[in-house]
Structure formats: structure tokens, C-alpha cells
Amino acid sequence: MKTLKKLPWSFLMVFAFIFYLFLIPLSNAQSDTILPQSSQINQLALKTGSYNLLLRISNPIVDPGEELYIDVYISGYGLIKFSKLSFLLSPNVFDSSNSLICSGFKAYKNEIGFCGQWNKIDEIGSAIELTAAKKIKNGWLTLYSPYPEGSLHIISETSQQLPTDKQAYAPVNLRMKIHKKARPGPQSIQFVFVYYNGESWVSSVETAQFTVRDFYQRNEWWIWWIAGIFAAVITILAGIKEAAKILIKIWSFFCAGVHWIRRWLNKRSKHR
């Protein structure tokens, strides 16, 4: 009897052990389809980093003397240190004395925003460090910190606007003045982003392309308008010319008729 009473319990224990062995691979398979939790994301942040530049141009078609706005974002995840952004300017395309670049953090009360300070751009271009950090309650905030905390999005992928800002700013903002004597046609600025990903130095290259319009493209509407008026005037003048020719012919016939009548009348007076 004792053996009969112990048999169901041992059977249940064996069944539970087999079920546990079956459940382990099933739970591992399900974990691949579940979104990563904050703890898992924090672990991913310690892996080798990979980042790329994202560019947004205000207007890809500009005129000499106008301003071109370029917003620079950085997308990626993982380890990153000692990052910098550099670019070169084509000669006689930009007015460097009136071109500005803005980067870094700024604060308003408990809020953090972008575009800490505007600086002039050199004639050949600029190179800026992107390793700035801002002290916050929970530690230090960098461009590559998760936003919001515990997500795969990072701050450098977003625009930020403080209550004192008139607009939202990107991590890097360029306000480029097109030279008044800029050569018309396709133009570009090449941006090079260099960073250390925890194992080696890596670079990401992106090009901002735009077009400077020539005189005809800038004044196309006026040229067509003047051409239309000129064509109308020519048509009217041509019509007047044809009408004048007809009037001259009529006048010639009239004068010839009067002259013939006079001759006829003179001949009759002589015969009398």
C-alpha cells in the first residue's frame, strides 16, 4: 500500500520535470519576438556602436544672396566616443562672413535644448566636436543618450525646442549664405562624421545637394511676361503695317483717279 501511495507523487514529479524541459526552449523562442526591455536596451548600449548622418535641407533650389538652412541629425546606437563633424565649402559658393553654425546644449529651468551658441564658419569650412555633455539629475546627458530613457531612440535623432526658442533646433544647425556671385548649377557640401565605436575609428559621409539658379531661371516669369507683351506689340504693329499698306494703296488709287479725272476734264475743255 505504501508503494501504491508514493507512485502518483513520483509520477507527478517526473511529469513536471519533463514539462519544465519542454518549456525552456519555448520561452527562449518567444523572447526573440518580444520587444526588448529597458535592461536589455541598456545592455545593447554597451555593444559596438554604429552611427550615420541624416541631413535635412530647407530648400534644394536657391538664388544668389539667399540663405540655405541645413539640419544635421545622427542616427544609431551603441558605444560612441570622441565624435566630431567636419565639412569643406566650395570657393565662391558661400559667403562665409555671413554663414553660421550652431551646436551644443542649452538649458532653460529643468529642460535641455539644442543650439547652445551660433559661431561663424571659416572660409574653407568647419570641424566641431560632438562630445559635449550636460549635467542632469540622473547623471550626464549626451547627444547619444536614449530618448526617452529606456528606448532605442537617441537624442541626436530628434529636434528640441525650449519655451524661449522661436523654433525647434537639430543637434547641428547651419545657416549658409549663398554668395551673390555664386556659379549657377548643381552644388554640394560633403559632411564627414568621425567617431570611436568602442573598437575602432569609423566615419560616416553624407552629401547635401542643392542647385543655384541662373539669371534665366530666376527671372523666367518676367521673361515670359515681357516676351508675351513684345509678341502682342509685334502682332499689333504688323496688323497696323498691313492696314497702312492697304490705306496707302487706296490713297494711291484715289490720287490716280483724281489725276485721271483732271486730265479728262482738261482734254474736254480744250476741245471746246
pLDDT tens for the chain, 272 residues: list them: 444 444 455 555 555 555 444 444 434 433 333 334 444 556 777 888 999 999 999 989 999 999 999 999 999 988 888 899 999 888 789 988 899 999 988 888 888 889 988 999 988 888 998 876 777 776 678 888 887 666 678 889 999 999 999 999 999 999 999 999 888 889 999 999 999 998 999 999 999 999 998 776 666 666 666 667 767 777 777 777 777 778 777 777 767 766 676 676 666 555 55
**Cβ atoms of residues 129 and 83 within 8 Å:** yes
CA 143 to CA 77: how far, in whole Å? 11
What confidence score (pLDDT) does residue 108 get? 84
DSSP codes, the chain: -HHHHHHHHHHHHHHHHHHHHHHHHHHHHHHTTSPPPHHHHHHHTTSPPEEEEEEEES-SEE-TT-EEEEEEEEEEES--EEEEEEEE--TTTB-GGG-EEEEEEEEETTEEEEEEEEEEPPSSEEEEE---EEEETTEEEETTSBSSTTSS-BGGGS-B--TT-SS-B-SEEEEEEBPTTPPSEEEEEEEEEEEE-SSSEEEEEEEEEEEE--HHHHTHHHHHHHHHHHHHHHHHHHHHHHHHHHHHHHHHHHHHHHHHHHHHHHHHHHH-
What confidence score (pLDDT) does residue 224 get? 65
The domains of the chain are located at 43-218, 219-272
pTM score of the predicted model: 0.67
What confidence score (pLDDT) does residue 10 get? 57
**Cβ atoms of residues 54 and 153 within 8 Å:** no
Residues with Cβ within 8 Å of 15's Cβ and at least 6 positions away in sequence, in order, are none
CA 139 to CA 62: how far, in whole Å? 43
Count of residues making up the chain? 272
What confidence score (pLDDT) does residue 12 get? 53
User: Which of 96, 70, 119 shows the shortest CA–CA distance to 179?
Assistant: 96
Domain 43-218 sits in CATH 2.60.40.680: yes
What confidence score (pLDDT) does residue 53 get? 95
CA 42 to CA 74: how far, in whole Å? 19
Q: Omega of the bond prior to 186 within 30 degrees of 0, cis?
A: no
